[in-house]
Structure 1
Amino acid sequence: MAEQILEKTQLLFGKNHPDTLLAIGNLALTYSELGQFQKAKELEVLVLEKCTNFWEKITQEHWEFRKAKEFVVLVLEKHTKLLREDHPDTLLAMGNLAGTYLNLGEFRKAEELELLVLEKQKKLLGEDHPDTLLAMNNLALTYSDLGEFQKAKGLEVLVLEKQKKFLGEDYPNTVLAMGNLASTYHTLGDFNKALGLEVEVLQKQRQILGDKHLDTILAMENLAKTYQKLGKQEEMEEFQQVIKDTKKSW
């Protein structure tokens, strides 16, 4: 069973995903219980190497984002001083700093800036402007990072409604907004609403990108997870098989 779980996890998430490393560790533990210590050692060495590489990469990225933050703060200060707080370039600098805070895990600081950007974009450009919708979407993602999914849902519903109205249902940003809202419904346990959106996302991804595109596979994986939550085992296994067959054909 541990071997099967590892095989499926690798197919779904790849060889370096944390869930895959957990599955490798569980298989190593099973080998140890069976007295097959050489097999266990080989897997444990593999997990250790991957974890070490992962944390080295994270540490390097964190240092780079810290240096970036110093520069972006300076840019924002200059824009505010030379232009004005409502100038589009100043708002862009605010958004960039908010993104840097997100990468550093400083979500409350990001939220504070994103709220300010959204307020000013609404005033300058109106609630239906693409830049305003982008600001709403960014704030919704930050709410998700903070675990405030009801707030995220409220913004995501609004963004999706406006994207459908002004860009059409097949526009890439509209499909992305559907996926974001579906993910939030899934997290909130509203699996039927998530299912309806995920079916629509998959249909559009197949139409726009084809069956073998990575985003289409991701849409299938999300749908399979929702079928599992709804107890629809047959549908879940059907999609898992399609995913497996598609990845083999890459």
Structure 2
Amino acid sequence: MAEIFAGAAYWPQVERLEEQALSVRAQLFGEQHPVTLGTMLDLATAYWHSGKLEEAEKLEEKVLLLRKQEIGEEHPDTLKAMTSLAATYRVRGKLQEAEELEEKVLLLRKRVSGDYNSDILNAMANLSATYRNRGKLEEAEKLGEEVVLLCKQVFGELHPDTLTCMANLATTYRSCGKLEEAEKLAEEVVSLRKLVNGDHHSDTLKSMTNLAATYKSRRKLQKAETLQEETLSLYKQAIGECDPSTLVCMVNLATTYRDRVKLREAEKLGEEVLQLHKQVFGERDPDTLISMTNLAATYWECGKLQRAEVLQKEVLLLSKEVIGKDPPDTLNCMTNLAITYRSRGKLQDAEKLEEEVQSLKDKTQ
């Protein structure tokens, strides 16, 4: 039953079912039984999608500790738990912890498997993404290029994992400022995805989304807008407007409208996607917070500063609750609100918030 709800993205229902299942299985089998630990990870996933990232992290840390004790750190189930925890660290902005754990996963995968396989290549891809997020762009690019080369050798150019790694490398090129290389590779990925999967496949649509982002980085805004509108139409046909991927596409298009100074369209679409995010996932979901942040920025551009301030305060409060005070996303929320305070002449409030931001940055350096 939990799998049915998960497929429909009803994560609060999934959460309740997994909590009940965990309670029953812990009583029947004990806390350290593989079935119980598997249920703990399922519950952590539900917490993750409900925006309860701190609870997810604590549960994943517990699972990892117990699995190390029971079956050792080289067991596939232990490595799976390490991979899940590293992903949570990454989302919570704990990038150093994510990097250290992913480096360990890669080392253990190589030790256990020897030859390159999908698990090793996925571990390399995850680590490359974390390097990119930490600003270690040279390491990210080098590892990303190695992964693509190995995937082509092991799986072939048209294999889904190869295409995913090519897409990730295109993103890394974009982060490095190698925009021409990023665009060329992203266009190749879209072409190959359409050839292998067709226009409506989720992987094709993701690659179109990434290509549009590259167009935006190159200030080819009309191209980006046209591609995003096409992608959104295909998403709605394929999976409906309430699917997470459709909502991300709507957010991206609203941002492009704002960049092209189509503020009426940006505001209308931004309000629509925020309503859908709250309706489907609740206000604590990380993607809901992104939608709120983007809509607040649109209000600001429209000169609706009071609306922007109200929404930014709400985002900041929720961000502190969901991911904590220290992560970069929360600090960005504080910075945005301080800018709005200054724009509204609330200089004392702005200075107080700016000092708090600087204090938190100094503490984390």
Q: Is 1:118–1:132's contact at 8 Å kept on the other side of the alignment?
A: yes
TM-score (ref. length: structure 2): 0.48
Q: Is 2:83–2:102's contact at 8 Å kept on the other side of the alignment?
A: yes
Q: Is 2:129–2:140's contact at 8 Å kept on the other side of the alignment?
A: yes
The match for 1:133 is 79
Q: Using the TM superposition, give the Cα deviation of residue 129 of structure 1 relative to its aligned residue in structure 2, in angstroms.
A: 1.4
Q: What amino acid maps onto 2:30 in structure 1? A: R
Superposed CA RMSD in Å reads 2.3
Match of 1:148 among 69, 88, 94: 94
- CA–CA distance in structure 1, aligned partners of residues 10 and 190 of structure 2: 37
- CA–CA distance in structure 2, aligned partners of residues 227 and 89 of structure 1: 42
- CA–CA distance in structure 1, aligned partners of residues 11 and 40 of structure 2: 15
Q: Does 1:166 align with 2:112?
A: yes
Corresponding residue SS for 1:86: coil
Q: What amino acid maps onto 1:125 in structure 2? A: I
Q: Does 1:111 align with 2:38?
A: no
Q: Is 1:169–1:175's contact at 8 Å kept on the other side of the alignment?
A: no
Q: Using the TM superposition, give the Cα deviation of residue 64 of structure 1 relative to its aligned residue in structure 2, in angstroms.
A: 2.1
Q: Using the TM superposition, give the Cα deviation of residue 216 of structure 1 relative to its aligned residue in structure 2, in angstroms.
A: 2.2
Corresponding residue SS for 1:195: helix
Q: Does 1:220 align with 2:198?
A: no
1:27-176 alignment runs, 5 A limit? 64-176=10-122
Residue deviations 1:138-187 (CA, integer Å, cap 9, x gap): 10011112111111111000000000111135110110000000000001
Q: Using the TM superposition, give the Cα deviation of residue 233 of structure 1 relative to its aligned residue in structure 2, in angstroms.
A: 5.0
Segment of structure 1 superposing worse, 239-248 or 167-176: 239-248
Corresponding residue SS for 1:85: coil
Residue deviations 1:194-243 (CA, integer Å, cap 9, x gap): 11111111112212332223432332232233234434455445424533
The match for 1:210 is 156
Q: What amino acid maps onto 2:133 in structure 1? A: T
- CA–CA distance in structure 2, aligned partners of residues 95 and 243 of structure 1: 33
- CA–CA distance in structure 2, aligned partners of residues 95 and 231 of structure 1: 37
Q: What amino acid maps onto 1:66 in structure 2? A: P
1:17-32 alignment runs, 5 A limit? none
Identity of aligned residues (%): 36
Residue deviations 1:55-96 (CA, integer Å, cap 9, x gap): xxxxx9787221122111111111122221112221111111
- CA–CA distance in structure 2, aligned partners of residues 154 and 186 of structure 1: 14
Q: Using the TM superposition, give the Cα deviation of residue 119 of structure 1 relative to its aligned residue in structure 2, in angstroms.
A: 0.6
- CA–CA distance in structure 2, aligned partners of residues 121 and 61 of structure 1: 27
The match for 1:10 is none
Q: Using the TM superposition, give the Cα deviation of residue 118 of structure 1 relative to its aligned residue in structure 2, in angstroms.
A: 0.6
Structure 1: gaps spanning 5 or more residues: 1-59
Q: Using the TM superposition, give the Cα deviation of residue 249 of structure 1 relative to its aligned residue in structure 2, in angstroms.
A: 4.1
TM-score (ref. length: structure 1): 0.69
- CA–CA distance in structure 2, aligned partners of residues 139 and 111 of structure 1: 6
Q: Is 2:132–2:175's contact at 8 Å kept on the other side of the alignment?
A: no
Q: Is 1:224–1:235's contact at 8 Å kept on the other side of the alignment?
A: yes
Q: What amino acid maps onto 2:169 in structure 1? A: L
> CA separation of 1:242/1:96 partners in 2, compared to 1, >3 Å: closer, same or farther?
closer
> CA separation of 1:81/1:171 partners in 2, compared to 1, >3 Å: closer, same or farther?
same
The match for 1:47 is none
Structure 2: gaps spanning 5 or more residues: 1-5, 197-365
